[in-house]
Amino acid sequence: MGPDTPLRDAATPAASTGRRRLPIGAEALPEGGVDFRVWAPRCRELTVEIENLRPIPLSAEAGGYFSTQVDEARPGMRYRFRPDNSDQAYPDPASHFQPEGPHGPSEIIDSRVFRWTDAEWRGRRRDELVIYEMHIGTFTPQGNWQAAQRELQVLAELGITCLELMPVADFSGSFGWGYDGVDLFAPTRLYGRPDDFRAFVDRAHALGLGVILDVVYNHLGPDGNYLKCFSESYFTDRYKNEWGEAVNFDGPDSGPVREFVLANVRYWIGEFHLDGLRLDATQQMFDASPDHILAAITREVRDAAPDRNTIVIGENEPQEARLVRPAERGGYALDALWNDDFHHSAMVALTGRREAYYTDYRGRPNEFIGAAKYGFLYQGQRYVWQKKPRGTPALDLPAESFIVFLQNHDQVANSIAGQRLHALTSPGHWRAMTAHLLLMPGIPMLFQGQEFAASSPFLYFADHRPGLDRAVRRGRREFLGQFPSIAAPEVSDRLADPSEAESFRRSALDPAERQTHATVVALHRDLLALRRYDPVFGRRPARVDGAVLGARAWLLRFFSDEGDRLLVVNLGPDLTMRPAPEPLLAPIEGHSWDILWSSEAPEYGGVGTPPLYRSGYLRIAAESALVLMPAARDRENRKNRRQRDG
């Protein structure tokens, strides 16, 4: 809004909060006009400046709120709030769109205009989930909602059932991961308009894909955060936060702050039809009140979508099991937590590197059996890297309470050049571990491009103003310095600059690699089909046990009335089970084992699978995984004779 913009008068009756869907923000009214409401206890007076209208004062309410209804305001108009006749006006703390970024004016958005087609959608159950983490800015070369939407059918056909979107709350600059968001209600203008986001979700639902959003409620970004211009109480110095000021969930004036966050939860679930949330770094969400904000958030998700399945996932570095226990047992009732322990063990097993936060893992078979049966590996044992106990007891939780993964945005970027795991190990190892990931109990998660062994890296990138970019660059180098292999001068000098546009550009996926790397796609597609449609793997939760078969080999046995399944993983050399004093290897009475699936099948890029039995003993090829099923013994005997005589 420039100084020469023509102005019109507008009526300013007091706002009525009873008709509002959310307690804050600008809401277009069905009968016309717009209702504005903002919490601004720092202000004595507050006016809203809408393009082409004269400044309009807001009426003060109890508790530091201000509101007004502007009959002549319309969706599409841009506006700012000016406190106490100051020299500067600010965007709406609950802005639904920032077309010029966090420093520009807010835009009035009418969410009712979008025509949804997902009335019959009921979400995905927890036992159906196969999650796909994606960053809209790099998921396609175009980096927007519309381009991403065109790729959704491919993911559905692969066997993905739920998309987990990295944060989309608007942030400064022209690229970033999204974890420095400052406008929590405004989908970033970098990927399109809010209705483009809605169209993405609507299309996902039509294809049977749930959509959950990664949200950051533990801090706000360092650039473009104007909340303190309205109230100092949004943040507190009573807790130390790793990324800036802690959000005030339990101190003086914390009620409206909690309302702000809970309104944001309802906004995403209600107005974008999202199927749940992934909560970033929950250990940095400090709350000593009787009703922890995590429990309140989970309830809000459920209440906002009572007619469909929703999921709330937490990232929690200290591995606190209470987050997923039900409220009646003192928990916060989240559905699942990210399981870093599984990832760290897999990285050590596949790369041999044990440095920094991989120090306390050996990558041994018992770790993969433990993760399959019990989730976290550390449930209170002392942790050398942190010099203190890690985790809390979680043996009472089903394995389905944990998200397991071989890659995610953080872990891929925490390498020398943003390398993906398939580039850090052998093809056989990688195929075998992929089988374990996609068939084990728990909820598997893939990171974008993992399903076709993307050649593009995923780097840390963040576009910040001069000065702040240097601090980010220095901080990133210091963080990666915990890895001795990366801290070496000849390596650290080659680290990608987060502020360079090239770091962002290089991280974009090339969808054409789905065809050029078709064997990898087939591997993931067939494993996910087994997980979903096999009469044993498809019955979840299933009863599972496991056994160590060798220094680098193990099995998981899935029990079922339909006939058991064995998943055998061998990361070592050829293994012949002679002798085989392991009860879980015993076949069902009257049967022997037969190969149902092999990671070494040529269609997956493998070298072929040798016969399962050698002189009556099970044989597992090097660097491979097999899925075994019962076969009638006379059938197996005929097969052995053919192999012997042929």
CA distance 516 to 168: 31
pLDDT of 15 > 60? The answer is: no
**Amino acid 309: pLDDT:** 97
B/e letters for 96-132, b = 16+ CB within 10 Å, e = fewer, are bbbeebbebbbbbbbbeebeeeeeebebbebebbbbb
* Span 263-275, average pLDDT: 98
Percent over 90 (pLDDT), the chain? 87
* Span 199-217, average pLDDT: 98
**Amino acid 473: pLDDT:** 85
CA distance 12 to 8: 13
B/e letters for 567-598, b = 16+ CB within 10 Å, e = fewer, are bbbbbeeebebeeeeeeebebeeebbbbebbb
Range scoring the smallest mean pLDDT among 95-104, 221-230, 635-644:
635-644
Which residues lie below 8 Å from residue 495, measured CB to CB, with a gap of 6+?
A: 416, 476, 477, 480, 486
Which residues lie below 8 Å from residue 249, measured CB to CB, with a gap of 6+?
A: 257, 258, 261, 285, 286, 287, 289, 293
User: Average pLDDT, whole number, for the chain?
Assistant: 93
Q: Please, which pLDDT band fits residue 635 given cuts at 50, 70 and 90? A: low
**Amino acid 176: pLDDT:** 97
What is the per-residue pLDDT across 305-319, written as a single tens digit (0 to 9) for each? 999 999 999 999 999
**Amino acid 475: pLDDT:** 84
Q: What's the per-residue H, E or C state across 82-147?
A: EECCCCCCECCCCCCCCCCCCCCCEECCCHHHCCCCCCCCCCCCHHHCCEEEECHHHHCCCCCHHH
pTM recorded for the entire structure: 0.94
* Number of other residues whose CB lies within 10 A of the CB of residue 44: 10
CA atoms within 13 A on the CB side of 490: 1
What is the per-residue pLDDT across 70-103, written as a single tens digit (0 to 9) for each? 999 999 999 999 999 889 999 999 999 999 999 9
**Amino acid 643: pLDDT:** 53
* Span 145-168, average pLDDT: 98
* Span 601-628, average pLDDT: 95
Phi, psi at residue 321, to the nearest 5°?
-65, -25
Q: Please, which pLDDT band fits residue 150 given cuts at 50, 70 and 90? A: very high
pLDDT of 276 > 80? The answer is: yes
**Amino acid 1: pLDDT:** 39
**Amino acid 12: pLDDT:** 35
* Span 245-265, average pLDDT: 97
Instruction: Fill in the DSSP letter of residue 167.
Output: P
From residue 387, alpha-carbon distances to 26, 324, 455 in Å are 49, 26, 37
pLDDT of 16 > 90? The answer is: no
What is the per-residue pLDDT across 536-554, written as a single tens digit (0 to 9) for each? 999 887 799 999 999 999 9
**Amino acid 493: pLDDT:** 74
- Under 8 Å between Cβ of 79 and 49: yes
Q: Please, which pLDDT band fits residue 637 given cuts at 50, 70 and 90? A: low
**Amino acid 542: pLDDT:** 77
CA angle 447-453-455, nearest 5°?
100
**Amino acid 642: pLDDT:** 55
Instruction: Fill in the DSSP letter of residue 536.
Output: T
- What six digits make up the tokens of 464? 């910040």
Rg of the chain taking only CA atoms, in angstroms: 27
Domains, the chain, in order of start with CATH, read: 17-109 (2.60.40.10), 534-645 (2.60.40.1180)
pLDDT of 115 > 60? The answer is: yes
From residue 535, alpha-carbon distances to 185, 565, 566, 646 in Å are 43, 10, 13, 33
- Under 8 Å between Cβ of 630 and 594: yes
Q: Please, which pLDDT band fits residue 4 given cuts at 50, 70 and 90? A: very low
Q: Please, which pLDDT band fits residue 634 given cuts at 50, 70 and 90? A: low
Q: Which helix (H) or strand (E) holds 28?
A: strand 25-28
* Residues noted as catalytic: 280, 315
Judged by DSSP in three states, 491 sits in helix
* Span 603-614, average pLDDT: 95
Q: Nearest CA to 36 among 95, 105, 89?
A: 95
Q: Nearest CA to 89 among 50, 132, 128, 122?
A: 50
**Amino acid 477: pLDDT:** 83
Instruction: Fill in the DSSP letter of residue 546.
Output: E
What is the per-residue pLDDT across 333-387, written as a single tens digit (0 to 9) for each? 999 999 999 999 999 999 999 999 999 999 999 999 999 999 999 999 999 999 9
pLDDT of 639 > 80? The answer is: no
pLDDT of 6 > 70? The answer is: no
pLDDT of 425 > 50? The answer is: yes
The bridge status of strand 443-447 relative to strand 131-134 is parallel
Q: Which helix (H) or strand (E) holds 578?
A: none
